Structure 1
């Protein structure tokens, strides 16, 4: 799963692939809002509890809450967003299953063996895995995605360093070789892939080894440049999940029928229908009993659907978080690396820490998100149980501490106007960039500015207002000097390794922070020593503590996502370690009540 950037509306409404929660509550000093000490702790079931018998030939209607039509790129090599991913879930299945830490297990359609000494991965497809048209899933189907993504005519977004890490991939990509020398077919079900380097993240789902197969027998006659728009991708994809797409109405709906060749049991439903529903209409659709479940419900309107008769809200932590980033340098496009500027306006970590301690993010979670958000304590979300440091308290609000940090660092109010000057006694204005979109964007940003003023900091909006999504990220990527601090969000995907977001060679490291120690700690997470789980856990903890102390980015909100499910639905389990919840789901009544 790829790292993902969010627009503010998506950031606020959980229009993402996955979700999170947690946060510290300890406080001291002159605090406002109680720092969430009186907040209601929300807990949700992760699976349905329905003891009635499933009916024969049951049909299930689902929806995805979205304000735009889905693109319909129904092939793993081409899909780009969470909307298409939601529609692909009943029919498309990855090769590998994972545990609750997203580590690859042997429970999926294929097994993975990674040899760190030879730097080779062996993928073996299980004998009973077939495509929905009855053809076997073979080694050729495992290899074909690499030939698609590595092709110079490939039109998707997947070709990156994880593919360049395969021996011979770059030669294949530039056309100097007809095949990828590092990929070998051992037999009809087994593939061996040789890498230039291996690291522990490759044992994570989505962490460096491509997790999907492509039906070569249906796609090989299509030119790579035309594949994205082909009928095989958009109208009648062949898949090996529990259902297959039987009818697609572009941008609107998909119907699914059982895959009689499914490798992992017999699907329980006669038919599934999934539709797009506007976010503004989603709650009314639930009240009208139009759907059995609606995915990607907006969390900022949770109060409107938290108690609807006939539905139970399931919930789970996200793999994402909101954060404040501080601009500390520039991106060098020639060297493809971060250039940290120790003389930048926000270079003093005491200033950055003070801005973190000024905020009561548990109160933000309560007031804006009905408790579905809470104070984030680390740049590793708690959904990654083995890697998240649950002893960290993070930046819980403490106004006295914030003021003392500024005083001790030399940020004093020289002219008694209530606002602090810089260390040289000059006027200090901090420019804050945040995205527009949704009802929450403006009041949340206003709250942050208000709290920073409470500790004596003059913070003004970059451009004088909130910034549209595309313009916002254009400014971040180009290191616009008008930005000193910004609010954004990341979906880490299923691999929490920080190198792709906070490393010295990460273009996504919009803070442009870099230090020898940060690089050392990040590299340690990816080192060969980290194949030992205890060593890796300790390496993650050391980096989290360092990131907290340096405060180049301050995590602000962890979050949960919620899925309303009608009470007639049986055996739906939303746990991350369930290979495919659609394989077992059924209904116990003909209609929703």
Structure 2
């Protein structure tokens, strides 16, 4: 991928084109939802008449500015795209796939093909009809040879498709992985029987008529990606205006195919985390949702406001401290190449014993109890506990400074100069650089605690000044050559537990540059038919992979915090999903 500032986070990112996304719960306000995710109204004082009101949400960091589903890279942009763009399928509260732009689908006998039958009355925000050709165009763009160099990071959605390798390498100009059978029927063709066809076909769609004349390499800088009024989707709201780094305005799309939204305007305001709850109390902010919601420290305060509903649920994501195990060469960075054969090992954190010692020196339970006020948990695996594939029967790397020091001694890292800090086995100075971004209060508070924990066992930590997230993300992505430890958070896909998008060797988001052949083998094995059609088989393979992760340890999973969404009681129709506060926003309505 091209190393520009077209990057992200989720913190937590990532993932699923919905990616990277988030969490909520099944708590209901004025509506309930059946398994098809269709809201059933129980009371509406406005008798379903459209409201002429404005709803304001708060986020603590401004979006980087890529409002394009195939190029955005962080959750703040996804807060906007969740209102403006849609996919063929969505999910319900049970994480089952349900229709969205596709009203139905069928697979062939060996699951090498899945055919979707599309809704026929869908239009883009500029009035143009949505068709199967838009679906083909979206996936063809992601498979394009220029997609990665332009900054695209979602090739995992196209890699299993028929002919991907030939098309992405430039061997052929014909893309056969997704085909339009007619204007409202589209078929996905896979190289081999696929255990997750709905996952791979669940990416948000972009309009062909807007982007067809724009080279893939130019899409990230195109006005259709960057500018309000130019960003075109099929969702219930259009992105119409912004005051950059201050507020982002979404306007009701009157011809939305599921009915005009009942709220005219939704505004995202960028505000400091420390003042969010005060604005919620005064009514200047109506809701606080992704990426973090309200701070755990503010829970009781907000609960006491009396006019605010709090939704608490375990997050589909986690915070981590990663090890920069390898660095890409400057040439590969410049060319947007991720080639493990060219990686340069970071000797300072190359020993797994050292990484395990560092993990055991960090007081992770202290983060949960102190920073999260108990509203979260320590986890060891990068698979969400909500998934059937998760196991905690792995190497725990529990907080134990004495054991950490013993491991460091065993690895040959001892204090030979008497200054309290350990040297390398060769007697050289050993200093680890720890980098982290601004914008997330918990992460900013975690960094100096980690420094203190590690220095207590004799590890000299150079805690660098935090940087604005876009600058930090660029350094992280480009493998800044003196970065050893980094803090970040990921929002996981709710569609499948497969961790390949973050931890496969060549994954763009594998910022640790973890290169473990056994990991690659297990990740491939977990998706290989026919065995992988059995969930028990996949579960066993993923358990083996999680054990490997906690032993080789490319990152320390610090904690999974609970999401604490909060919204003013004047907002009705809220029905958060397990992974997102935003669900059927066209059904939201305001009681003044």
Q: Fold conserved (TM > 0.5)?
A: yes
Cα deviation for residue 77 of structure 1 reads 4.2
In structure 2, C-alpha distance between the alignment counterparts of 1:18 and 1:417, rounded to whole Å:
45
Corresponding residue of 1:323: 320
Q: Is it true that 1:290 corresponds to 2:287 in the alignment? A: no
Deviations 1:236-271 (A, max 9, x none): 666444x343954564443533645534xx566253
Q: How does 1:127-526 map to 2 (within 5 A)?
A: 127=120, 129=122, 137-149=130-142, 157=152, 160=155, 162-163=157-158, 166-167=161-162, 179-197=174-192, 199-204=194-199, 208-209=200-201, 211-216=203-208, 219=210, 223=214, 228-230=222-224, 234-235=228-229, 239-241=233-235, 243-245=236-238, 248-249=241-242, 251=244, 252-257=247-252, 259=254, 262-263=257-258, 266=259, 269=262, 271-279=264-272, 281-296=275-290, 301-304=295-298, 306-307=302-303, 308-331=305-328, 333=332, 336-337=339-340, 344-383=347-386, 385-392=387-394, 394-412=396-414, 418-423=420-425, 426=427, 429-438=430-439, 443-455=445-457, 457-461=458-462, 465-466=465-466, 469=469, 476=476, 482-494=482-494, 495-526=496-527
Corresponding residue of 2:54: 61
Q: How does 1:7-46 map to 2 (within 5 A)?
A: 17-19=20-22, 46=27
Aligned length, in residue pairs: 550
Q: Does the CA contact (< 8 Å) of 1:5 and 1:489 recur in 2? A: no
In structure 2, C-alpha distance between the alignment counterparts of 1:103 and 1:345, rounded to whole Å:
44
Q: Secondary structure at the match of 1:306?
A: helix
Change (3 A) 1:238 1:406: closer
Corresponding residue of 1:539: 541
Q: Secondary structure at the match of 2:278?
A: helix
Change (3 A) 1:105 1:542: farther
Q: Secondary structure at the match of 1:19?
A: coil
Structure 2 unaligned regions, length at least 5: 1-5, 32-41
Change (3 A) 1:150 1:459: same
Corresponding residue of 2:556: 554
Q: Does the CA contact (< 8 Å) of 1:63 and 1:293 recur in 2? A: yes
Cα deviation for residue 544 of structure 1 reads 0.6
Change (3 A) 1:327 1:289: closer
Q: Does the CA contact (< 8 Å) of 1:139 and 1:187 recur in 2? A: yes
In structure 1, C-alpha distance between the alignment counterparts of 2:328 and 2:565, rounded to whole Å:
40
Q: Secondary structure at the match of 1:262?
A: coil
Please tell me whether Structure 1 or Structure 2 has the larger radius of gyration of its CA atoms: 1
Change (3 A) 1:74 1:198: farther
TM-score (norm 1): 0.76
Deviations 1:491-511 (A, max 9, x none): 344454333333333354343
Q: 1:76 aligns with which of 57, 69, 91?
A: 69
Q: Does the CA contact (< 8 Å) of 2:361 and 2:454 recur in 1? A: yes
Cα deviation for residue 572 of structure 1 reads 0.9
Q: Is it true that 1:86 corresponds to 2:87 in the alignment? A: no
Deviations 1:108-137 (A, max 9, x none): 634454558473332221456555677764
Cα deviation for residue 49 of structure 1 reads 5.8
Cα deviation for residue 574 of structure 1 reads 0.9
In structure 2, C-alpha distance between the alignment counterparts of 1:481 and 1:247, rounded to whole Å:
40
Cα deviation for residue 273 of structure 1 reads 3.0
In structure 2, C-alpha distance between the alignment counterparts of 1:473 and 1:96, rounded to whole Å:
30
In structure 2, C-alpha distance between the alignment counterparts of 1:170 and 1:342, rounded to whole Å:
28
Change (3 A) 1:290 1:9: same
In structure 1, C-alpha distance between the alignment counterparts of 2:110 and 2:503, rounded to whole Å:
28
Q: Secondary structure at the match of 1:505?
A: coil
Cα deviation for residue 286 of structure 1 reads 1.4
Corresponding residue of 2:35: none
Q: Does the CA contact (< 8 Å) of 1:91 and 1:245 recur in 2? A: yes
Cα deviation for residue 582 of structure 1 reads 1.4
Change (3 A) 1:156 1:397: closer
Cα deviation for residue 476 of structure 1 reads 4.9
Cα deviation for residue 310 of structure 1 reads 0.6
In structure 2, C-alpha distance between the alignment counterparts of 1:71 and 1:428, rounded to whole Å:
38
TM-score (norm 2): 0.76
